[in-house]
Amino acid sequence: MTPDRFYNPDLDLYLGIDKGFRNPNVTIWLQPDRKWERVLVLYAHYQWLRTPDENARIALAIHRERGYGAVTAGWGDPSAPDMLRAYSLAFRKEGLISGPRRPVEWGEEVLNQWLKTSRVTQGRMGLVFAPDCTRKFYAPNDRKREQPVSLVLEIQHKEKHEPGKGMHHGPDGLRYFFGGWEGA
């Protein structure tokens, strides 16, 4: 990988995470502008069949390869304290990653509002996706590469959240981010 050309080292950097083992684990890097009018999703990485510790180490390696600086904070599934702790330890700051302060339903509504704002303003405001968010990932058992997953694909086909059903890991990671971030 090469350093991320959209990353701005002068702005805060956040993570949104959704735990998965057989379903993918996703780590999302986000960067709001100074006015909190626009949130740029820099990158999303999907990983199958790894423990929380392995996923956290993989995320840290990607973080370094992409040239990102210190993470300001991050939010993930509050029902997965092992994942929250693993990421906090990997990024070397106890409590860096926590469960969101607000309910997931609230995060869902805010996510929808940020997406709507982006559509209305043609990306000048709202939630905006860097080109790397279109990168397709494939489950290890998808040998024919017939069912790709990417953050942009999941957002385009976003369904109502039903735990344990459907592909919604990327939107879940975004919901956790918005449920924890103060700028929402």
pLDDT at 184 over 60: no
Which residues, in sequence order, are bridge partners of residue 137? 149
Tens of pLDDT, residue by residue over 153-164, are 999 987 666 666
pLDDT in the model for residue 20: 83
> Which letter does DSSP use for residue 166 in this model?
S
Tens of pLDDT, residue by residue over 49-67, are 999 999 999 999 999 999 9
Cα 59 from chain centre: 11
The model carries a pTM of 0.94
Distance between the two ends of the chain, CA-based, in angstroms? 31
Nearby residues of 118 by Cβ (< 8 Å), 6 or more positions away: 125, 126, 127, 128
pLDDT at 182 over 90: no
Tens of pLDDT, residue by residue over 109-147, are 999 999 999 999 999 999 999 999 999 999 999 999 999
Q: Is 30 helix (H, G, I), strand (E, B) or coil?
A: strand
Query: What does the alpha-carbon distance between residue 166 and residue 162 come to, in Å, rounded to a whole number?
Result: 7
Task: State mean pLDDT over 167-181.
Answer: 92
Contact 62, 87 (CB under 8 A): no
pLDDT in the model for residue 168: 81
Domains and CATH numbers, the chain: 14-180 (3.30.420.280)
Q: Is 162 helix (H, G, I), strand (E, B) or coil?
A: strand
pLDDT in the model for residue 37: 96
Map tokens 């700028």 to a residue: 183
pLDDT in the model for residue 155: 93
Higher pLDDT residue, 182 or 152?
Answer: 152
Query: What does the alpha-carbon distance between residue 128 and residue 44 come to, in Å, rounded to a whole number?
Result: 13
pLDDT in the model for residue 166: 63
pLDDT in the model for residue 1: 61
Tens of pLDDT, residue by residue over 17-50, are 999 877 899 999 999 999 999 999 999 999 999 9
